[in-house]
Amino acid sequence: MGSASNAASVTLFPGPLSAADVDLLIVPWFENESPARFESLDRATGGEVSRAVSTHEFAGRSFDVFVTPIVDRSWKARRVVLVGAGPAAVFGRNDARRLATAAGIAARQRRADRVGCVLRPGEPDPSGDVDVAGFVQAVTEGLTLAEFNAASYKTSDDSLGQIPQLTVVLSDVDDIYPDSRARLDAALSRGRCLGESSNLARELANEPGNTLTPCEFARRAEQLATEGGAKVEILDERQIEALGMGLLLGVARGSAEPPRVVVLRHDPADVPPGTPVLGLVGKGITFDTGGISIKPAEGMERMKDDMAGGAAVVCAMRALARLGAPIRVVGVVPATENMPGGRAIKPGDILRSAEGKTVEVINTDAEGRLILGDAMWYARKLGVTHLVDIATLTGACVVALGKTTSGLFGRPVTWVEEVRRASERAGDRSWPMPLFDDYKELLKSEIADFTNTGGRAGGAISAAVFLKEFAGDLPWVHMDIAGTAWSEEAKPYQPKGATGVGVRTLAELALDVDSWVNVR
């Protein structure tokens, strides 16, 4: 694990641009903005900024980049990078996060050792207020996300330079900084922790299946969570069997690697009894062949990321424990491989869950919901009052929502909406999907309580209906991240590969407990 441990520090610099002691100064530039706004910067570049804008070489469109030297020797920075921020009127925290990531990646490619990113919130809200602390957090998260390098196994990769020293520059360009320095420092620390934790989840999801076995996943999960201050318990195959987790054991049967269940706890001493307990459950399939219902060979190598939901839970627990979330949180991650061995489950087999419900296996590639069912039962047994599960569960969700939006399923509507809002604040876009009772007919079995798949039509919904059977009567949300856990094409703010989706959403939910404490 490297992103957090190898990271340089991030600091705040409240002062003029000319005094920012960095090699490369990143300045967000809004569309149709006049160079007069940065007159001193324009002079420092010998008029190159105004020339580029007037000739339309640089127009401030989203993620446009213009680089020029600073020739004024009274300035400490040696180069400036203008990064297009789009229209100021619609520029929000998520835009700032993405812009900072794109700028951070560009800075690494230019081998800068010390990088400063100028904080520029968009237009004030209708009350005239500017959420400066929120923008500090978002920019810090974005710069930190730029530190991730998916090429950890390459022996001669030089596409990215070393991780630079980072500074968030609170310039004197706008007199909009009413927040105290302590509040801004806290926002920077929070953004740094959430960005690091997201990168750690990306590292886990990027690990190949031969190195990240279920036992190794459990070991790393324990290391990461305890580093953050959470408590960890690892259940081995004997303990899993004693609990009667027949769904998890059924999936694990085809593999030579034994399963594990990672149980994580954040239990602040000052939280009174009787208050909510948030339960987070993540799918931890460390490699998914599909089992006997084997997947096509093309693209199967991607199935190393089928534990991205489990990684999100582990790294969210690290973050929320470090940040002192004011709520008790329990995380449960069932970890196993899904392999087509001689002892593997077969279509038509019947499995009995820890809750006692029986499942007819129609397709062994619908294994994630099986292991989540036992894990959700166990989270309830441990006393959680509100439940969120997160999983790379169905290709059907990708068909429905594409690869930029996670699907949300659950009940009641108020709980689903709270999770959606948390995901929006965190920059993990999600969208609610229907969960009508009629869909339960898709899982009807002649010989068991229900089947493990309802076919292609409404496939993401029938998978959520299956999970609903194990949520009891708790407020519950299922996040299907099959389309968002991995980026198959590079964007300015997201290299190809693991995205770390869900980490910030789950942490945000725990940190903002006051917004949903009365949801039942």
Characterise 463 by phi-psi region: left (phi > 0), alpha (psi -120 to 50), beta (else): alpha
3-class SS of residue 266: strand
Is 369 tagged catalytic? yes
85 burial class (0-12, 13-18, 19+ CB within 10 angstroms)?
A: buried
3-class SS of residue 360: strand
Our measurement of the distance from residue 51's CA atom to the centroid of its chain's CA atoms, rounded to an integer in Å, reads 40
Q: Looking at the chain, how many residues does it have? A: 520
Contact in structure between 117 and 168 (CB atoms under 8 Å): yes
With CA atoms as reference, report the closest residue to 261 among 289, 288, 242: 242
CA distance linking residue 377 with residue 381, whole number of Å: 6
Set 97, 98, 283, 369: catalytic member: 369
CA distance linking residue 394 with residue 403, whole number of Å: 12
With CA atoms as reference, report the closest residue to 471 among 394, 358, 374: 374
Set 110, 295, 411, 429: catalytic member: 295
- DSSP, residue by residue, 216-262: HHHHHHHHHHHHHT-EEEEE-HHHHHHTT-HHHHHHHTT-SSPPEEE
| Single-letter code of the amino acid located at 245 | M
Is 381 tagged catalytic? no
- DSSP, residue by residue, 281-326: EE-EEEEE--TTSPPPSTTGGGGGGTTHHHHHHHHHHHHHHHTT-S
Q: Which residues contact 56 (CB under 8 A, 6 or more apart)?
A: none
Contact in structure between 214 and 251 (CB atoms under 8 Å): no
- Cβ count within 10 A of residue 13: 18
Helix (H) or strand (E) holding 203: helix 181-206
Please give the positions annotated as active site.
295, 369
